[in-house]
Structure 1
Amino acid sequence: MNKPLLILLLFLATQIGFSQSTSITGSITDNSKEPLFGVNVILKNTTNGSQTNENGQFIIENVANGEYLISISYIGFKTKEVKINITNNTSVNLEPIFLLEGNEMLNEVVVEGSRTNKFSRKKSAYVSKMPLKNIENAQVYNTITSQLLISQSVNTFEDALKNAAGISKLWSSTGRSGDGAGYYSSRGFAVQPQLVNGVAGITNGFINPSNVERVEVIKGPSGTLFGSSVTSYGGLINIITKKPYNSTGGEITMSGGTNDFAKLIADVNISDTEKLSLRFNTGFQKDNSFQDAGFKKSVFIAPSLTYKVNNKLAFNFSYEASSNEQTNETFLFLNRYGPIAFNTIDELGYDTNLSFTNNDVTIDNVTQNYRGEIAWKLTDNWSSQTLIAGGIAKSKGYYTYLWNVADWTNPAAPIGTENFSLYAQDTDARTKTLNLQQNFTGDFKLGDLKNKLLVGVDYLDTKTIDNSSNWGYLHTINIDGDLIFGEPEINATNLNTALNGIGNLDSDIRQNILGAYVSDVINILPSLSIMGSVRYDRFNYLGDKNTDTDDDTEYTQSTWSPKFGIVYQPILNQVSVFANYQNGFSYVNPQYITDFGTGETTLQSYDVEEANQLEFGIKTNLFHNKLETTLSYYNINVDNKYYWATKTQDLKINSQGIELELNASPIKGLNLHSGFSYNDSEIKDSPSATGLEGNRYGESGPEITYNFWADYKFLSKFGVGAGFNGASEYDTMVDYKSVTGSFYIPGYTIFNASVYYETDTFRFSLKGNNLSDKTYYSGWSTVTPQQQRVILAAVNYKF
């Protein structure tokens, strides 16, 4: 080798060595100069990047000469971009960077995937309608993260909610008009999933989890910020859908398994990495029942768009349309009007393989939801969020149920012998919603006091038209499915004959709610904050029970709803002690009351129902987010609950209990999620139905629920998961047991496990649910058998 060439090679090697040692360093804080941990710092159009440590510091190494655009992103904060120019192989130490809080518009899947504790989420902009860390929020909520959904290969929304402490299923989704979404019990009160991305959304049928980024279960009466239409006194369920992100890629998922389960999902994101990002998610899913008949199938499309005008102004739009068809899940309604002859599952003698239906009798649900958002950073301290959202939900087809009746062959038998009559309705209903919302959030100081202020107004208009038939009778069978009386076959022809000439509901109901709210979180000290909130709500109801008449009922009522909270952090950002007072309310529509002595009918109006909660507890975020816990005690009182059977408003209900949630990552690759709940619910007073006093409130479900899941990834690519969930025994007839006696839904523990192999491009997984093939049930004055053992396999390709 000649000398000039040797010198040239030595020179190039030196230059390469210098260029590889060049780095970019800096620190990132929030607007209060507190360091942010886990912030994504990426050199755009390259594969080079880093994350901040616990001190908010980052370093990007091996950077060559040139001009770069650094993208800095973190959930709950506005994305910031910084231009730099590296010359002469000189390292760059950036000036301190601070991020401004804003709406959640980032790719939450990527951010969560890079976290140490993948099952935790430290912050939410939805729970308090402003970005707040969990540890500084006086309200309790559980977040079911995307990483937990992936780890468990979740394919149903019901399975997703099993991860929330204190949530138990009462009813599966029926798809019928009015209340077709599933019912769950939270803190002793029934709740339905009716909130999508922080605004009202219609979910009358099957919710496909393939477009769900995460689920937030917000606990306790939450009327102050969310009103009454989407909440219960036990809380609310907020579904966060998948959103666009700042890169191009996607994934395709194929699954199959027991009971002919099949799923195909395509999720594609396209972005120019500067201003425009478009995401399109679509899929198909079907599943047959473990029983002798029954199925569900669903198709959905979900396009979403983000257009970032600049660092201060962005437009976001999302839309989801789904078409679902299903048979009616087995609901055995127990008779409420006389003694039943059985008190347990064993005494009933039900063979859970029997569905008492066939696959020709189905109900269809078409659901559409849209959400448009204008996110505008007005100044360094003030932000504006304008929302326009709405949807339509349709229910069409046959809905059937089985009602426990007397044994007509034996007049002396109790009402509740093992005979059930099938009743049917030809459902034809649709509901439209329009939700307008304007929020202003400010982050500023008054003297030495830091304020996070929310001022908002929202308007929700709902219109429901129900042209469904009245209820018709088809036949009576015994618990073994043997015909006692009526038509033997369940099919469209026989159902049409049974429903012929019985008339229709023909109702047209419209209601609108106008609400205005103010909420302020004041930091008196860095370790001490208080929250004060209040809402004014005006409700208007206009109902026409028969569209052929002018028999309208109009009703207007208003209420105030306060909320208070206090948080003290003895170890800043690691341990907090909190307490809250929360209020919830519900409007009771007027009812026609008939005096059977005189025959006179009058319209009875009612006061606004109110629930008040007192709660205190502790939250932790220890060992650099490796251990996150929430432990709380709550006490909820409702003093004027309406009782449908007597049409009076005189029930007093107390519901109290404890809840524990834990998310941990004790060693690298191991993630744990666990929850426990105990609820004590009691009807304290019921003057119009004294037999209820002392009973557990009917929609409370089991006293004890629990869940656990562990995921361990080893050798960088292989992983295993295992866990369980369960509930204690409960009386599903507590509302009626003074007349009927009790019927106990047995307690259960269900074991699940998975194995997977995962790379940057592929994920292969095998999941087993209910591995012990346990027979178990849910119910709310009903009995419904739950899923038997299921084995699922999935292949996921990422590009």
Structure 2
Amino acid sequence: MIKKITYCLLLFLLPSFTLLAQTATITGSVKTADGKPADLVSITIKGTNKATLTDENGHYQIKRVTPGSHRLVASFIGLEKREQTIETRSGETLVVNFILKENSTQLQEVVISTKKSNKVNSIVAKMPLKNLENPQVYNTVSSEIIKQQGITSYDDALRNVPGIAKTWGSTGRGGDGGAYFAIRGFQGQATLVNGLSGLTSGDLDLANVEEIQVIKGPSGTLFGGAFLSYGGMINTITKKPYFTTGGEITYNVGSFGLNRVTADVNTPLSKTEKVALRVNAAYTDQNSFQNAGFQKSFFVAPSLIYEVNDKLSFHFLTEIMQEERAVAPIFFPSDRMSPLPFKTVKDLNLNYNESFISNDLTMKNPRFNLQAQMLYKISSQWTSQTVFSRTTVKSNGYYSYIYEDAVPTDQYFGQTLHKDQQTTSTTDVQQNFNGDFKIGNMRNRLLIGLDYYSRNAINNGSGYAMVRRVTPQSGEVAYPVPHTTDTIPPVYLSQALVDNILATKPGNRNNTTNSAYSAYVSDVINFTPALAGMASLRVDHYVSQGLKGDPTANYNQTFLSPKFGLVYQPVMDKVSIFANYMNAFINVDPRSVADSLGNNPGTQSFKPEHANQWEVGVKTNLLSDKLNITVSYYDIRVSDRVYTDPHNINGYLQGGTVGSKGLELDMNANPAPGLNLLAGYSHNSIKVLKGNAGDFYNEPGRTPGGQGPPDLANLWATYKFTRGDLKNFGFGVGGNYASEQKSIDSSVTGIFYLPSYLLINSSLFYSADNYRITLNLNNITNKQYYIGNYSIIPQAQRNFALSFAYKF
């Protein structure tokens, strides 16, 4: 019986064996002119349905090719095709390689969107994973998008990411002086560089940016609790050296006196060893769109790579920035205790062009960032990554805000100033081991990591002083003192005036240090090629030394942070369905407390706040990477928030809760050669679920503040002519929509609304092999619009930027 079955099987399989024996295999690689692998290049056999894409190493393979003569075609969207005539023979493997005449930089410019949407990313999950394999959502903004849109401000680049909105610009103040963004309803800042600490108290420069990543959701499991938002994280990927000579010099000129020069120069340093140096530098000088304010900065970022051999390499990066600005104050329309006389921007009648500042009052924010990395390939299955990061930022200058401080209905606001003298330094050391191996038939991609993070802040700033009173219409006004016949004459801000007033105020003198010792593990298990699960856990031990010389402020605690994910690909490498559970935490510093009468003072410690998110969604990579869509729904709940005790104004309770839910859509499409589309939409609903009814920041049923507009949409479409008389010419058009938002939401003060807005931007460019000219016109309709977090901050109206770039 067994012999009969075996005989039948052989008869059944014999045609298949015969067919395989009569076919051939074609394999090979595709590289650019500068020797780099070209991934996502389409390889087809003309006249057949045989086709494939190159992988991230530029390799491809086509099996079961009939013997004979064929035309093999290598093509990439918007580029000239490369063809080779080949002859295949039965049973043989034919190697066919292609060299694209475009180098890697030019290849990147062809598709302006994040064309490599399913490329391997090693930072988001701290292990090499393709987008479709990762149960977490992340969005990217490429350097080419930044160039095409003529963007010179880091903050503006994030307008291409769905679900994120700027809530106020950089103030320069110590500790948190960088720009703030609302991500999934929660406040966040750009504090990561290549996945490591990269603090700033001022602005960030785009000169060394290869890509900006917005990693969505609470990500404390892999990144800790020192510098993240519950809604997500902003991570900057820097430019890396390569082993040929090349570069680019660009000059930007534009509205508000913009003058900006950038240089990107790369060169190999050895003919016998793989050592390369890349230096990016920028100088910027620009005024404000208002009647005072300016920015001057110089930035330089040398980076070095040394590939000792196939197993060992070293990477070094240094970023140095000097920046001086006159920063417009934050305008707060409420004292947070009294009913608002103004409910809308129209009621407030804020002078759009009034800066309320003097160019004599400046803020300096020097910044230094060093990163060193050693990569070692232990075996074919294990790699080691050892990284060190050191960042120092300073705030040296004047910080100002405008606040209702006296009579809430009298149309006068107090302007308070403070002179910052703060230095913040962070140190981050990590050791990561990545494994890729099988246990039985299940593939495991395992991460094991150790992390030491330390932050030191030295503050020698002045006290705070109310220097003058202003109206929403003017900074220099006479102020009639309430209940008297006195009038204070108009005050013009000057450095001497402010210094004299601040000299009478007691200053701040403190030195604090916090550290975190962490270990984490994460494993992605492929149960089948299409079904994978992720399980991750972090153990975080936090140590706060508080103020030096005050042992009562010292405390420490240990916390666990888990993460789980599931991915199923019903169509491999094209469609994935994912779900995740993610956690984040922030350690809460001790606070001074007393009884309701102010007696029995002491210090109270708290558990960490923590956020938990669950999310489901779909990712696609269709039509040979021409259509990429991510759709997801999330639910985030932050608990253990600290709020004022309703029965004791001098005490605190822990247990407040905030809930945030939302939907996000992100699309990148290349429907035709030269045509690229970026589009996104997000809806968010956030409110306090548990807190104190009398607490301005923690009132149940209200928005917590800083959440941004509930509805956001972005669109950018670019077309580049690829042939004919207009070859290399192109144009782009797009914009951003933000719905009406609540800048203030309180039953005591009432609600203050910021209006919705629609911005339209455009671009016209010519991009050849060696040079590029770009003209951008932003906010074409000259729309007046505002952002804010408990505040109202006017943004620039119509403006243009013209750039000239020479590439070599």
TM-score of the superposed pair, with normalisation by structure 1: 0.86
Q: Distance in 1 between matches of 2:107 and 2:450?
A: 31
Partner of 1:625: 625
Partner of 2:689: 684
Partner of 2:327: 328
Q: CA 1:41/1:216 → structure 2, altered by over 3 Å: closer, same or farther?
A: same
- Residue 227 of structure 2 is aligned with which of 222, 226, 230? 230
AA in 1 matched with 2:516: I
Q: CA 1:718/1:591 → structure 2, altered by over 3 Å: closer, same or farther?
A: same
Q: Distance in 2 between matches of 1:180 and 1:572?
A: 45
Report Cα offsets for 1:525-544 as digits up to 9, x if no partner. 11111100000001111121
**Contact map agreement 1:387 1:437 (CA 8 A) in 2:** yes
**Contact map agreement 2:421 2:460 (CA 8 A) in 1:** yes
Partner of 1:463: 456
Partner of 1:696: 703
Secondary structure at 2:639's aligned position in 1? strand
Q: Distance in 1 between matches of 2:537 and 2:262?
A: 43
Q: Following TM superposition, by how much is the alpha carbon of 1:122 offset from its aligned partner in structure 2, in angstroms?
A: 2.2
Partner of 1:776: 785
**Contact map agreement 2:374 2:387 (CA 8 A) in 1:** yes
Q: CA 1:471/1:250 → structure 2, altered by over 3 Å: closer, same or farther?
A: same
Q: Following TM superposition, by how much is the alpha carbon of 1:41 offset from its aligned partner in structure 2, in angstroms?
A: 2.1
TM-score of the superposed pair, with normalisation by structure 2: 0.85
Q: Distance in 2 between matches of 1:157 and 1:761?
A: 25
Determine whether 1:290 maps to 2:289: yes
Report Cα offsets for 1:28-52 as digits up to 9, x if no partner. 6xxxxxxxxxx7525778xx99767
Partner of 2:437: 444
Secondary structure at 1:173's aligned position in 2? coil
Partner of 2:266: 269
Q: CA 1:75/1:720 → structure 2, altered by over 3 Å: closer, same or farther?
A: farther
Secondary structure at 2:256's aligned position in 1? helix
Q: Distance in 1 between matches of 2:316 and 2:322?
A: 21
Secondary structure at 1:610's aligned position in 2? strand
Runs of 5+ consecutive residues of structure 2 not aligned to the other structure? 1-24, 47-53, 60-84, 98-102, 480-487
**Contact map agreement 2:553 2:603 (CA 8 A) in 1:** no
AA in 1 matched with 2:282: G
**Contact map agreement 2:718 2:733 (CA 8 A) in 1:** yes
Partner of 1:591: 591
Q: Following TM superposition, by how much is the alpha carbon of 1:502 offset from its aligned partner in structure 2, in angstroms?
A: 1.2
**Contact map agreement 1:405 1:416 (CA 8 A) in 2:** no
AA in 1 matched with 2:744: M
Q: Following TM superposition, by how much is the alpha carbon of 1:655 offset from its aligned partner in structure 2, in angstroms?
A: 0.3
Partner of 2:78: none
Question: Percent of counterpart pairs with the same letter?
Answer: 39
- Bigger Cα displacement from structure 2, 659-668 vs 686-695: 686-695
- Residue 541 of structure 1 is aligned with which of 541, 544, 568? 544
Q: CA 1:250/1:240 → structure 2, altered by over 3 Å: closer, same or farther?
A: same
Partner of 2:760: 751
Q: Following TM superposition, by how much is the alpha carbon of 1:391 offset from its aligned partner in structure 2, in angstroms?
A: 1.0
Partner of 2:505: 502
Q: CA 1:757/1:507 → structure 2, altered by over 3 Å: closer, same or farther?
A: same
Q: CA 1:51/1:190 → structure 2, altered by over 3 Å: closer, same or farther?
A: closer
Q: Following TM superposition, by how much is the alpha carbon of 1:688 offset from its aligned partner in structure 2, in angstroms?
A: 6.2
Q: Distance in 2 between matches of 1:95 and 1:517?
A: 45
Partner of 2:72: none
- Bigger Cα displacement from structure 2, 112-121 vs 706-715: 112-121
Partner of 2:662: 657
Partner of 1:64: none
Q: Distance in 2 between matches of 1:556 and 1:626?
A: 51
Q: Distance in 2 between matches of 1:49 and 1:534?
A: 35
**What does 1:115-514 correspond to in 2, within 5 Å?**
118-123=114-119, 124-271=121-268, 272=270, 275-334=274-333, 335-407=335-407, 415-481=408-474, 482-484=477-479, 485=488, 488-514=491-517
Partner of 1:611: 611
Q: CA 1:382/1:91 → structure 2, altered by over 3 Å: closer, same or farther?
A: farther
**Contact map agreement 2:38 2:56 (CA 8 A) in 1:** no
Report Cα offsets for 1:36-88 as digits up to 9, x if no partner. xxx7525778xx99767456999xxxxxxxxxxxxx994799xxxxxxxxxxx
Partner of 2:76: none
Q: Distance in 2 between matches of 1:57 and 1:211?
A: 40
Determine whether 1:672 maps to 2:677: yes
Q: Following TM superposition, by how much is the alpha carbon of 1:697 offset from its aligned partner in structure 2, in angstroms?
A: 2.2
- Bigger Cα displacement from structure 2, 289-298 vs 483-492: 483-492
Q: Distance in 2 between matches of 1:498 and 1:351?
A: 27
Q: Distance in 1 between matches of 2:115 and 2:304?
A: 27
**Contact map agreement 2:734 2:761 (CA 8 A) in 1:** yes
**Contact map agreement 2:110 2:674 (CA 8 A) in 1:** no
AA in 1 matched with 2:131: N
Partner of 1:709: 716
Report Cα offsets for 1:531-558 as digits up to 9, x if no partner. 00000001111121xx6x5465111011
Q: Following TM superposition, by how much is the alpha carbon of 1:711 offset from its aligned partner in structure 2, in angstroms?
A: 0.7
**Contact map agreement 1:542 1:552 (CA 8 A) in 2:** no
Q: CA 1:57/1:152 → structure 2, altered by over 3 Å: closer, same or farther?
A: farther
Secondary structure at 2:156's aligned position in 1? helix
AA in 2 matched with 1:388: F
Runs of 5+ consecutive residues of structure 1 not aligned to the other structure? 1-24, 29-38, 59-71, 78-88, 99-106, 408-414
AA in 1 matched with 2:709: P
Determine whether 1:722 maps to 2:733: yes
Q: Distance in 2 between matches of 1:52 and 1:155?
A: 30
**Contact map agreement 2:537 2:563 (CA 8 A) in 1:** yes
Report Cα offsets for 1:700-724 as digits up to 9, x if no partner. 1210111100110014310001101
Q: Following TM superposition, by how much is the alpha carbon of 1:120 offset from its aligned partner in structure 2, in angstroms?
A: 4.8
Partner of 1:17: none
Q: Following TM superposition, by how much is the alpha carbon of 1:139 offset from its aligned partner in structure 2, in angstroms?
A: 0.2
Q: CA 1:443/1:515 → structure 2, altered by over 3 Å: closer, same or farther?
A: same
**Contact map agreement 1:76 1:131 (CA 8 A) in 2:** no
The runs of 4+ residues in structure 1 deviating greater than 6 Å are 48-52, 55-58, 89-98
Indicate the RMSD between aligned Cα atoms, in angstroms.
Answer: 2.6
AA in 1 matched with 2:188: V
Q: How many aligned residue pairs are there? A: 719
Q: CA 1:596/1:696 → structure 2, altered by over 3 Å: closer, same or farther?
A: closer
Q: Distance in 2 between matches of 1:260 and 1:94?
A: 62
**Contact map agreement 2:174 2:423 (CA 8 A) in 1:** yes
Q: Distance in 2 between matches of 1:720 and 1:444?
A: 47
Q: CA 1:394/1:40 → structure 2, altered by over 3 Å: closer, same or farther?
A: farther
Q: Distance in 1 between matches of 2:637 and 2:251?
A: 47
- Residue 113 of structure 1 is aligned with which of 105, 109, 112? 109
Q: Distance in 1 between matches of 2:756 and 2:302?
A: 42
**Contact map agreement 1:474 1:498 (CA 8 A) in 2:** yes
**What does 1:562-601 correspond to in 2, within 5 Å?**
562-597=562-597, 599-601=599-601
**Contact map agreement 1:584 1:611 (CA 8 A) in 2:** yes
Q: Following TM superposition, by how much is the alpha carbon of 1:405 offset from its aligned partner in structure 2, in angstroms?
A: 2.9
Q: Following TM superposition, by how much is the alpha carbon of 1:328 offset from its aligned partner in structure 2, in angstroms?
A: 1.6
- Residue 775 of structure 2 is aligned with which of 757, 763, 766? 766
**Contact map agreement 2:135 2:579 (CA 8 A) in 1:** yes
Secondary structure at 1:259's aligned position in 2? helix
Report Cα offsets for 1:647-682 as digits up to 9, x if no partner. 432311110010000000000000111111000101
**Contact map agreement 1:26 1:96 (CA 8 A) in 2:** yes
AA in 2 matched with 1:311: D
